[in-house]
């Protein structure tokens, strides 16, 4: 990547005038939240945070950046976990925050779509849908903070992918400001459109490297009337995967979420957050947290769930289980799952891996990764949970108790290589849902074939030949 000098003062002044009062931040303390990653382990620097309110304002600012070769880091909720939404440390990029673009442009109930601007918080879209008796199914731990522009740019996954797919499956149309400042209006609410390359797909998971998403048409679904949640003890990951097949065969597509949880993360949670309690009386090595949803009468899935668990027990697939007796109890079980992120911080830090392998290789992955890690670091604490229904695990070994965090982080590269070599050998992906950003850039380039790297680079060159859109993230020019 070529050297980029700090943004010249004259350019900063020009951008401020174009942004207008209230359209930018330039005081260090105001900009601090925009340059720091969610976990606090990356802190960049910028001379300016731009905060446009309309697509036209975004386009005008990007035009100035294009004319002056000024690099831009698009940012939404800043909850991404790969240092993709923060600037580097050289004061040579401006941050463009979409968080003031909050308009809901349209809700079309006959077409089952909602059109929102990029800065609308995910939880707000869920609420708007629910108010109209619809469901927007994207759901993840950061949903109270992340914004739809960021969700689309990372092709976010979350806990309902099993039934509804990734963000990619939920987007029908996009509006994008291109790196030269032109606006592409692709806000079509069509489920069928075979008129050439599906351009929106390039921006979905593009991590802000090809343009700035300013609005999107999203799919809505019927709102479920019925939800059943269960916390189930299983002997092994293999039993968990077999249980998923059993439940899908007996209950069908109502199985909406299916999370595998290792005991070690439950221990960390119970140690660090006394508000939680063990859902079962005995301790088991692995658990599944599953949710069923449907359109039938409230309570209509209770019987099918009990029957599926009974037949699973007869087959020796499960050891114990509790079915939530109320919505509140169900929510408490999900809160445990959400708080794993905090439990890991309490453990003094983990080295995170967001991997996927084919479901048929999940068990092999866990065994091989645990064995390889423990051979290299006998006191490391393997910790693993995730959206196993999608073949996606957060495999986050916690540091040895008597190590400092600095010593552990010093081993990050070697640990990543141990884990990711196994993932790639099993035909998996080193980033299932969090994306590449800066964190996984070198590794991604190492594991991808030259043909794939050439195609990615060629796409980037077509859209952004001057390399001003989130340079150095996802792909290197
Ligand atoms: C507690 C917690 C739980 C999480 N759970 C999950 C999970 O289950 N599944 C999952 O997939 N992720 C998860 N994440 C990661 C994160 O929430 C997602 O990646 C989310 O989609 C990021 O959205 P954001 O608005 O915060 O985007 P940001 O962090 O602001 O940006 C993410 C990327 O998109 C780019 N970008 C942002 N907005 C735009 C735009 N409008 N146009 C172009 N590019 C843009 C940025 O430059 C950056 O590269 C979790 C994070 C936390 C902190």
CA-based Rg of the chain, rounded to a whole angstrom?
23
Query: Of 171, 167, 185, 186, which is closest to residue 217 (Cα–Cα)?
Result: 171
Q: Which CATH architecture describes the domain 226-342?
A: 2-Layer Sandwich (3.30)
* 462 CB neighbour count, 10 Å cutoff: 10
Instruction: Determine if residue 350 is left, alpha or beta; phi over 0 gives left, psi from -120 to 50 gives alpha, anything else beta.
Output: beta
Stronger pLDDT, 39 or 131, i.e. the higher one: 131
Residue range(s) occupied by CATH 3.30.70.2740 in the chain: 347-434
Percent of the chain topping pLDDT 70 = 100
* 340 CB neighbour count, 10 Å cutoff: 21
| Ligand 1 mutation pick, 36, 53, 76, max ligand atoms within 8 A of CB | 76
pLDDT tens figures, 19-50: 999 999 999 999 999 999 998 989 999 999 99
Protein fold of 104-222: 3.30.465
Ligand 1 midpoint to CA 386 (Å): 17
Distance in angstroms (rounded) separating the CA atoms of residues 367 and 371: 6
Query: Of 154, 200, 243, which is closest to residue 439 (Cα–Cα)?
Result: 154
- The CB of 44 under 6 Å from ligand 1? The reply is no
Ligand 1 midpoint to CA 402 (Å): 33
Q: Which CATH architecture describes the domain 347-434?
A: 2-Layer Sandwich (3.30)
Instruction: Determine if residue 252 is left, alpha or beta; phi over 0 gives left, psi from -120 to 50 gives alpha, anything else beta.
Output: left
What is residue 346's predicted lDDT score, i.e. its pLDDT? 84
φ and ψ at residue 188, rounded to 5 degrees: -95, 135
SS (HEC) of the chain: CCCCCCCCHHHHHHHHHHHCCCCEECCHHHHHHHHECCCCCCECCCCCEECCCCHHHHHHHHHHHHHCCCEEEEECCCCCCCCCCCCCCCCCEEEEECCCCCCEEEEECCCCEEEEECCCEHHHHHHHHHHCCEECCCECCCCCCCEHHHHHHHCCCECCHHHHCCHHHHEEEEEEECCCCCEEEECCCCCCCCCCCCCHHHHCCCCCCCCEEEEEEEECEECCCEEEEEEEEECCHHHHHHHHHHHHHHHHHHEEEEEEEEHHHHHHHHHHCCCCCCCCCCCCCEEEEEEEEECCCCCCCHHHHHHHHHHHHHCCCCCEEEECCCHHHHHHHHHHHHCHHHHHHHCCCECCCEEECCHHHHHHHHHHHHHHHHHHCCCCECCEEECHHHCEEEECCECCCCCCHHHHHCCHHHHHHHHHHHHHHCCCECECCCCCCCCCHHHHHHHCCHHHHHHHHHHHHHHCCCCCECCCCCCCC
What is residue 31's predicted lDDT score, i.e. its pLDDT? 98
| Ligand 1 mutation pick, 73, 94, 140, 338, max ligand atoms within 8 A of CB | 140
pLDDT tens figures, 39-96: 898 999 999 999 999 999 999 999 999 999 999 999 999 999 999 999 999 999 999 9
- The CB of 433 under 6 Å from ligand 1? The reply is yes
- The CB of 38 under 6 Å from ligand 1? The reply is yes
Distance in angstroms (rounded) separating the CA atoms of residues 135 and 91: 42
With vertex at residue 82, the alpha carbon angle to CA 77 and CA 85, rounded to the nearest 5 degrees, is 40
What is residue 1's predicted lDDT score, i.e. its pLDDT? 54
Residue with tokens 């600037």: 87
Ligand 1 midpoint to CA 146 (Å): 6
Residue with tokens 């660090």: 272
| Ligand 1 mutation pick, 102, 154, 167, 345, max ligand atoms within 8 A of CB | 154
Residue 286 binned pLDDT confidence (cut-offs 50, 70, 90)? very high
Q: Is residue 2 pLDDT above 80, yes or no?
A: no
Residue with tokens 């005008």: 60
> 326 Cβ partners below 8 Å, 6+ apart?
none
Q: What is the dihedral of CA 430, 360, 162, 141, to 10 degrees?
A: -40
Residue 281 binned pLDDT confidence (cut-offs 50, 70, 90)? very high
What is residue 341's predicted lDDT score, i.e. its pLDDT? 87
- The CB of 212 under 6 Å from ligand 1? The reply is yes
Q: Is residue 136 pLDDT above 70, yes or no?
A: yes
Percent of the chain topping pLDDT 90 = 97
| Ligand 1 mutation pick, 42, 55, 71, 142, max ligand atoms within 8 A of CB | 142
Residue range(s) occupied by CATH 3.30.70.2190 in the chain: 226-342
What is residue 359's predicted lDDT score, i.e. its pLDDT? 95
- The CB of 72 under 6 Å from ligand 1? The reply is no
Segment 321-336 mean pLDDT:
96
| Ligand 1 mutation pick, 53, 65, 72, 79, max ligand atoms within 8 A of CB | 79
Residue range(s) occupied by CATH 3.30.465.10 in the chain: 104-222
Distance in angstroms (rounded) separating the CA atoms of residues 205 and 433: 9
Residue 422 binned pLDDT confidence (cut-offs 50, 70, 90)? very high
pLDDT tens figures, 355-405: 999 999 999 999 999 999 999 999 999 999 999 999 999 999 999 999 999
Ligand 1 midpoint to CA 91 (Å): 23
- The CB of 207 under 6 Å from ligand 1? The reply is yes
Ligand 1 midpoint to CA 193 (Å): 28
- Per the CB < 8 A criterion, the answer to whether 414 and 420 are in contact is no
Distance in angstroms (rounded) separating the CA atoms of residues 457 and 453: 6
pLDDT tens figures, 425-440: 999 999 999 999 999 9
Class of domain 9-98: alpha beta
Ligand 1 closest atom vs CA 84: 49
Tokens of 314: 């007869």
pTM score, whole prediction? 0.96
Residue range(s) occupied by CATH 3.30.43.10 in the chain: 9-98
pLDDT tens figures, 187-227: 999 999 999 999 999 999 999 999 999 999 999 999 999 99
What is residue 167's predicted lDDT score, i.e. its pLDDT? 98
What is residue 222's predicted lDDT score, i.e. its pLDDT? 97
Residue 97 binned pLDDT confidence (cut-offs 50, 70, 90)? very high
Ligand 1, atom 45, lies closest to the CA of 208
Q: Is residue 3 pLDDT above 90, yes or no?
A: no
């Amino acid at each position: 990547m070529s050297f980029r000098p700090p943004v010249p003062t004259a350019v900063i002044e020009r951008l401020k005038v174009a942004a207008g009062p209230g359209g930018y931040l330039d005081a260090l303390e105001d900009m601090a939240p925009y340059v720091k990653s969610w976990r606090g382990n990356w802190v960049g620097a910028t001379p300016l945070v731009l905060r446009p309110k309309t697509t036209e304002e975004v386009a005008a600012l990007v035009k100035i950046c294009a004319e002056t070769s000024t690099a831009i880091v698009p940012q939404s909720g800043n909850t991404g976990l790969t240092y993709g939404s923060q600037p580097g440390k050289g004061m040579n990029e401006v941050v463009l925050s979409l968080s003031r673009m909050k308009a809901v442009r349209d809700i079309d109930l006959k077409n089952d779509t909602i059109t929102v601007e990029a800065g609308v918080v995910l939880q707000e879209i869920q609420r708007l849908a629910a108010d109209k008796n619809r469901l927007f199914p994207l759901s993840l731990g950061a949903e109270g903070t992340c914004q739809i522009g960021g969700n689309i740019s990372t092709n976010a996954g979350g806990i309902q992918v099993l039934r509804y797919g990734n963000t990619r499956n939920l987007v029908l149309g996009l509006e994008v400001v291109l790196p030269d400042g032109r606006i592409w209006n692709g806000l079509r609410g069509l489920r069928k459109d075979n008129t050439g390359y599906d351009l929106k797909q390039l921006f979905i998971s593009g991590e802000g490297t090809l343009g700035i998403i300013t609005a999107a048409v999203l799919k809505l679904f019927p709102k479920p009337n019925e939800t059943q949640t269960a916390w189930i003890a299983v002997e092994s990951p293999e039993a968990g995967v077999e249980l998923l097949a059993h439940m899908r065969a007996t209950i069908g597509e109502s199985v909406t979420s299916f999370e595998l949880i290792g005991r070690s993360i439950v221990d960390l949670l119970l140690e660090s957050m006394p508000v939680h309690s063990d859902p079962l009386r005995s301790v088991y090595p692995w658990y599944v947290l599953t949710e069923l949803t449907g359109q039938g009468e409230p309570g209509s899935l209770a019987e099918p769930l009990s029957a599926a668990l009974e037949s699973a027990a007869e087959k020796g697939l499960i050891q114990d289980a509790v079915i939530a007796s109320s919505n509140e109890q169900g929510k408490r079980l999900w809160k445990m799952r959400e708080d794993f992120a905090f439990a890991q911080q309490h453990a003094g830090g983990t080295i995170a891996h967001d991997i996927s392998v084919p479901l048929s290789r999940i068990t092999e992955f866990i065994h091989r990764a645990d064995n390889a890690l423990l051979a290299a670091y006998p006191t490391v604490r393997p910790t693993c949970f995730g959206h196993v229904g999608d073949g996606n695990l957060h495999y986050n070994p916690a540091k040895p108790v008597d190590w400092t965090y600095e010593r552990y982080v010093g081993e990050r590269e070697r640990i990543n290589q141990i884990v990711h070599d196994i993932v790639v050998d099993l035909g998996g992906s080193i980033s299932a849902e969090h994306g590449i950003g800066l964190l996984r850039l070198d590794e991604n380039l190492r594991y991808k074939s030259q043909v794939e790297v050439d195609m990615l680079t060629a796409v980037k060159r077509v859209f952004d030949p001057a390399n001003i859109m989130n340079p150095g993230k996802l792909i290197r020019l």
